[in-house]
Structures are given as structure tokens and as C-alpha cells.
Structure 1
Amino acid sequence: MSNNDTHSRRRVLKGAGAAGAAGMLGLAGCLTGEDGGTTVEVLHAWTGGDGKRAQQALFDAFDEEYPDMDFEDEAIGGGGNQSLDQTIATRLRNSNPPSSFAGWPGANLERYGDALGNIESEVWEEAGFEDSHIQEAVEACQHNDGYSAVPLGSHRMNDIFYNVSVLEEAGVDPESIDDADALIEAFDTIQSETDATPLGMSLKPWAILQTWAVVMLGTQGYQAYMDFINGEGDEEAVRETFETLEEMLSDYINSDAASVGFTSVNEEIMNGEAAFIHGGNWLAGAYISEELTYGEEWDAIRFPGTEDMYGLHIDSFIYPGENPTPEDTATFLQFIGGETAQVAFNQYKGSIPTRTDVPTDEFNPYLTETIEDFNEVSDKPPTLAHGLAVDQQTQSDLEGVLNDNFADPYDVDGATEGFMNNV
């Protein structure tokens, strides 16, 4: 299923009263449910690739645990959550919120202002989430002096994935890639020794932004990155990041990068048409879903220079105010933050639980290693392209700079000036 497809599944209230419930329509055109309001309606953007199998496992597990709840999930396709965000904005503006929706916590929550509700007592205190989740996730889900989201999992943003066979054919040893120059040399070798694209890339602004961030972390260091996202960036560090990124993108990416989506690019890694790809470890989720063997068909290294970092990304479910099903939504969110949900979803999504007490038995070796790394690294820089590091307006402004100045042709001066002026 492509990212433009939609998928909806309804779980109709079972037992007595189901027929009567089906005949009563709520404000949003949903069934009246047992919560005294409308059906528990949950929106998300997991329509294909890594997300399809993960969301099915998640919602199947919820249905099994709560078979009598009137529940509907709806997938809204579109890269980078853009279509989902537009739908949510319209629904909230029209005072017609869903029960919950998947989204990024952290600075991203600021876009919703007072449209979100507080679930501190009904969910966080009731389920003891402050003690069972990583501190970074606890802090990211806070909003307006309370909690407005529950974490589901965490993606690592500083991995670069590769097709094992392509690198072997080129004679490239991934373990020898210890800085950006060595990575570019590997691109050059792959280009001369194989028919594969050295770096699979989508030039969608959000995709460029996530790669710019990891290049900055790898070449300029953790502190330079943190200074930048906090509005105290060094212009020369920003410029050097763009210069390195230009060298990577100008000669070594796929010819259709300006038009292709990220899921399609990852398919080129899987079929051997491309060697490397950078992105969150939802990319690994796609490999896991396709049952490709870790270490034999695909593998990953830390982006050179970020070996002692975990690029922090968090997925969550968010609680709107004026909630149509407050009690059942609280039940759903308690489930999301529990062990069952975190195992069901993350093992297929390519992410790791934000709970600290989840056994790793169900996770493949790559994800088990990622969990171990999370607990051992020195720094966990928040993702710039996925809502943790900066608010939605700032992120949108940076993407606009990239769209205008760095989506081929590559204007280092224009992009540098734009980034310095917008953070």
C-alpha cells in the first residue's frame, strides 16, 4: 500500500445495544458508543511500508484487550505527517476533534495551544507512566502545565542504512567509514564499481532537513547542533554543514530525488538499486516487515561522527480537548503507554519502546542493539525534522528555506542565511 492510500477499520460495539448504537449518529457522523459520546476515533498516518504492519499489530492488540469498545482507526497518508496534520488542524478548528491522533510530542505540541486536554490524572498518574517511561519521553509529552500526549516509541535519527550486497560488490567496508570524507569516498567507490545509486534520497524539504541535522551532528558536533536549535548557532558551522551536504547530494543521489517519496527510495535499498540511505529507523521497520535478514541483506552504521549519540525521535498519541469520548480515550491512551502496545507496535515499526521495563524477546537483533545503545550513549540530540527540537512554525520556515535554496540547485549562501534568520 502506498503512502497515498487510506485504510480504515471499524470495530463495532459487541453485545447488547450494538444495533441501537449503529442507528445514532454523533456530530462527526460517527456511531454513538458506550462512553456516552461518539465512537472512539483515532487518526494516524501509518498507511504503508514500515507503518502498515505495525499499526495493524497495535490496533489488533487493542481490539483483543478491549473487544467491547466501539473503536475506529483511520489512516491518512502523506509523507512527514503533512496530510494528517492538515486534517487535524481542520478538525480542531471546527471543534470536531477525534478521540486521539498520532503525532510528535515536544515542541510540536505548541502548535495546538489550548486545543489539547490534560490527561495527567486520568492517564499518567493512574497508569504510573512517569516512573515507567524514559525521562525524555515524559518531558516531551508535557504541555500547558500538564500532559497532553502518551509516548508510543522512539526512532533513532542518526543511522545510515545500507544494502550489504552492494557494498560487498563495491569492496566498501562500512566499519572503515569514520568521518564525512570517508563516507563521500565510499559513495565515489560505489558509483565507479557498481550500477547502484550511492545515496538514496528524497529531496522533500523535511527529508533534506533530517539529513542536514545528522550531517551537522557528525561534522560540527553535539554542542554546535544544540546551540543552533536554541537560537545561538554559529554561522560558520551552519555553512560548513551545507557545504558537506551539497557535496553528498550534488553527485551521488538518484536522478528522481526531486519527485520521489521516501518509501519508494527505501525500496531501492531493498532491491539493490541504491547502496546507502539516511533516515530514522522506521527504515529498518520496512526491512523487518519484508522479512529481510539483518546483517546479511541489510545493515546500519551510525552516521560518522555520531557514534556516541542517539538522535532522539518520539512517536505519541495526543489527547484533544473537547474530547468526544474522554473515558474511553483515557483507556486507549493507558493501553498505548503499556507494555503490550509498545511491543506490538515497535517490533514492526523499527522503533524501540519508551518504557524502561519492556523485555526485548520480541525484538530483532538490530532493535535490541538500539535499545542497548540508547542506555549507553552520552548525548541524545532531539530531532529537528520531527517536532522535538523546534516548534512547528520554525520547522516549517526551515523547510521553506530548503525548498527555495537547497533542493537542486544547491545555494549554500542562501540556505545558510535562511537558517540563521529562522531559528
Structure 2
Amino acid sequence: MRSTRRALAAVVSAAALLVASACSAGKDDDTTASKVEVFTWWAEGEEKAGLDALVSRFTSACPGQEFSSGTVAGGAGINAKQVLDARLQQNDPPDVFQVHAGAELLDHIDAGQIRDLTAEFSTWGLTGTLPEGLIETITVNGKLWSVPAGVHRANVVWTNDQVLADAGILTAPKNLKEFIGNLAKLRRDGVESPLAMGRDWTQLMLLEAVLISDLGPKRFTGLFTGTTKWESKAVRAAIQDYKLILDYTNTDRDSLDWPEAERLLVDGKAGYQLMGDWVAADLEAGNFSGYDSFAFPGNGKAFQWLADSFVLPTRAANQAGGTCWLQTVASPEGQQEFSAKKGSIPARTDAPTTGFSDYQLEAVEDWRTGTAVPSCAHGSACSQPWQNAANAAIGAFSTSGDAAALQSALAAAAKQFIRQA
């Protein structure tokens, strides 16, 4: 995200005010110790509806505990993370806080800021009901640290059916070759931007999808564990495929976020968009029904996931209440009620699916039968500093088109941030 020093200072100042407010509002004037401050960035829309569903279940499942909102709105979690970091540095943590499951937790683990939840995973039935790939990714130093509330899929292509039909494209492409052929066909048919695209992290999502197609799920995951080398010929070939596909995107991609890129799709200026499955709720909310979706061509059964999850701070004031919140989040019923409202799917494969849309039901089946693959673009495969380095490399490539420089930068980031098992 681009920002001036003045804008950044304003955000930090606002964060400091929020921290001060949080410190004074909940600690001294509470007459009981039963309030549970739940820190999230779910302030509106489907996210807020999902949170409200969890609050309702928590209230009935945890008598004697009272939910207290620690929501910080804005910036898709960016503002919230700044406030949270400031509070953790001041030893004033909330009772539980929201994170993306996976490598994004590394800094909190290293600082001793969150509790090991391995025993609770077993007690709450999570170890036998979460996919093996998810368990493997969220395990750090042999321990489990966060409870996933719901899962979104990143490697999904969304379509404008009318644009595709006008170009004579009536079926989903089976592989990268067919997909690239369709992009070329759309451009010949007068569609200037066959694939709608946004800035840095959305471009990283595209590169990851191409890497999964060219390397397969196992070797792709190995890029973030050290078993697959970024310097390899296979990665070089994938970057060339990525470069070719990027040439079929809108030239103003670096100035757009994903909703603005989605507008190109809805307005008929693009035939495809690669984006996570939160797009479905957005399209429906905008009363756009002329779309379809499919897994990125060549990804097969790979389900590239990102998971909203919660952790228990080591210095939380209400450990019992925080634990009860996590148990609510971990329950099959809690995950069903949350996902039905938010548009995600349960992380648990045994959760009910009452109230789910057709897309959600398809995603649940893919989650149960597919191969769980993490995402660096969404913090499950790599740490925040590594993600920042990858986004910077992707942004530079969008301007330069230098494939060798991109591969070199990604390899250097891996050497700097990777953790050998």
C-alpha cells in the first residue's frame, strides 16, 4: 500500500489514540473479571455478521463470560495489526486476537506473546478433523498456536459469462495452455484486458497459482520450507508463464486494489479475474449474477487456503474467558454458524453445512477431498517480512518485466527468511 510519511504518521497517531482508549476503557472501570476482549478487524458486512454469529454462540456456550469488542476497523486488518503490535509492546494484550493462520504467527511465537494450544487441539477434536496440509502448515516447532475459524480459497478464477460467450468461450480451460489460449482469443475479440488484475499482492496470488500448476502442490509448498529451490529451472519456466499471462492484464494494474479490478470484470471490460472466494459474496451484494468460477487451470485438486484464526495471548487478563472463546470457535457448530454468515467454509471437515450457498457446498467438498496448499500472499506460507519482500519483487517486475531479476529477488527472500524444519 502506498502512503506518504505524513499519512503513515497519521495512522500511527490514530493507532496510539486507539491503544490509549482501549487501555482506559476496559481495565479499570470493569466491575467484574468476566469480560472477554476479542480483538478483530471485522467491522462491517459479511465479516461483522460472521463475528456476530460467533458472539451469539459464545454467549450461550460460556455462561459467566461477557463478550467485549476490540474491533479496529479499516485497512483490511492493516490498522488493527498496528494497534495490536503497540498494545503487545506495552504488555496490554486483548484476551484473544485475530490472525491469519500459518507463518504470519512467527513473530508472535518468537516473542513469547501467544500460548501453545496443542493440548486443546486434541481435547476439542481439531487434530482429527482438520486436513493434514492445514495441520502441517500451522505447526511451528512441533506445536499448534492458533484456532482456525473458517477457510477461504485463494486460487479461484471468476468469469464474466457474457464476455466469454461473445468470444465463443463456453467451457472452463483445463490447463494453463488452454487458459492462455482463451486470453489471446479474448484480446483478438477486442477485450483489451482479458484478465482483470490489481496491485502487488494480487499479482503474487497469480504467480502462486501459476507455480502450483507448473510445480504441483508438493513442490510449490516446498518453496517455503526449503525442499524446492527458487533458483530451479522449473521456477524459471513458471515465471515465464506468469509473465505471458500478466501481459493479458490491464495496464493500470499497479494502481488498483482487487475490488477495482473486479469492477472491470462486472463492467464487461475483462473476461476473467483471479481472486479469493470472498468475491462471490461481493458479486452477489452488487446484484451481479452473470458469473461463474473454477479452480485456476492446472491446479487440479489443490485448495490454496487462507484461514481466519484466533490465538490466546500469554499475558491475557481473562485466560479462562479467552479459552472459552477459542473453544467456541473450534466447535463444529461455531464454525458452521460463522461461515454461513461470512461466506467462508469451516476449517473442520465434520462441521454442518446448514445455510451454505451452492458455491460454499462445492468448496466444502473440495476442502474435504483436495490437497491443502498454503499461500504466501495471505500469510499462511510465509512470514510478514517475507511477504513484504515478495510483494516488492512482484511490484518491480510488473514495471520492468525482468524475469531473471524476479527469480533472483524471490530466491534471495527465501534465503533470508526461510526456516529449516
Match of 2:116 in 1: 118
Match of 2:158 in 1: 161
Stretches of structure 2 lacking an aligned partner (at least 5 in a row): 1-10, 12-20, 415-421
Given the alignment of the two structures, is residue 218 of structure 1 paired with residue 213 of structure 2, yes or no?
A: yes
CA contact under 8 A between 1:35 and 1:328: conserved in structure 2? no
Given the alignment of the two structures, is residue 280 of structure 1 paired with residue 276 of structure 2, yes or no?
A: yes
The 3 A distance-change label for structure 1 pair 374 and 276 is: same
Letter in 2 for 1:184: I
Moved more, 41-50 or 363-372: 41-50
Match of 2:15 in 1: none
Stretches of structure 1 lacking an aligned partner (at least 5 in a row): 1-5, 7-24
Match of 2:397 in 1: 406
Give the match's secondary structure for 1:102: strand
Letter in 2 for 1:193: D
CA contact under 8 A between 1:44 and 1:102: conserved in structure 2? yes
Provide the TM-score with structure 2 as the length reference.
Answer: 0.82
The 3 A distance-change label for structure 1 pair 109 and 304 is: same
The 3 A distance-change label for structure 1 pair 45 and 267 is: farther
The 3 A distance-change label for structure 1 pair 208 and 84 is: farther
Match of 2:382 in 1: 390
CA contact under 8 A between 2:205 and 2:377: conserved in structure 1? yes
Q: Shift of the alpha carbon at 1:324?
A: 2.4
Structure-to-structure mapping, 1:157-306, within 5 angstroms: 157-175=154-172, 177-193=173-189, 197-203=193-199, 205-231=200-226, 232-233=228-229, 234-250=231-247, 252-290=248-286, 293=289, 297-306=290-299
CA contact under 8 A between 2:132 and 2:372: conserved in structure 1? no
Q: Shift of the alpha carbon at 1:257?
A: 1.7
Given the alignment of the two structures, is residue 322 of structure 1 paired with residue 338 of structure 2, yes or no?
A: no
Letter in 1 for 2:207: W
Match of 1:21 in 2: none
Given the alignment of the two structures, is residue 332 of structure 1 paired with residue 329 of structure 2, yes or no?
A: no
CA contact under 8 A between 1:162 and 1:299: conserved in structure 2? yes
Structure-to-structure mapping, 1:58-137, within 5 angstroms: 58-59=54-55, 62=58, 69-79=66-76, 81-112=77-108, 113=110, 114-120=112-118, 123-137=120-134
Q: Shift of the alpha carbon at 1:214?
A: 0.6
Moved more, 357-366 or 271-280: 271-280
Moved more, 268-277 or 310-319: 268-277
User: Aligned partners of 2:80, 2:137: CA distance in 1, in Å?
Assistant: 20
Give the match's secondary structure for 1:160: strand
CA contact under 8 A between 1:191 and 1:198: conserved in structure 2? yes
The one-character-per-residue Cα deviations of 1:152-200 (angstroms, maximum 9, x if unpaired) are 112222221112222222221232x122232122223223435573211
User: Aligned partners of 1:195, 1:210: CA distance in 2, in Å?
Assistant: 23
Percent identity over the alignment? 24
The 3 A distance-change label for structure 1 pair 159 and 34 is: farther
Given the alignment of the two structures, is residue 51 of structure 1 paired with residue 63 of structure 2, yes or no?
A: no
The 3 A distance-change label for structure 1 pair 360 and 157 is: same
The 3 A distance-change label for structure 1 pair 128 and 91 is: same
CA contact under 8 A between 1:141 and 1:150: conserved in structure 2? no
User: Aligned partners of 1:49, 1:236: CA distance in 2, in Å?
Assistant: 44
CA contact under 8 A between 1:34 and 1:70: conserved in structure 2? no
Moved more, 68-77 or 239-248: 68-77
Moved more, 46-55 or 406-415: 46-55
Letter in 2 for 1:375: R
TM-align CA RMSD: 3.0
The one-character-per-residue Cα deviations of 1:322-351 (angstroms, maximum 9, x if unpaired) are 012212111211111123331232234332
User: Aligned partners of 2:243, 2:166: CA distance in 1, in Å?
Assistant: 26
CA contact under 8 A between 1:54 and 1:345: conserved in structure 2? yes
The 3 A distance-change label for structure 1 pair 236 and 87 is: farther
Q: Shift of the alpha carbon at 1:367?
A: 1.4
The 3 A distance-change label for structure 1 pair 245 and 120 is: closer
CA contact under 8 A between 2:59 and 2:67: conserved in structure 1? no
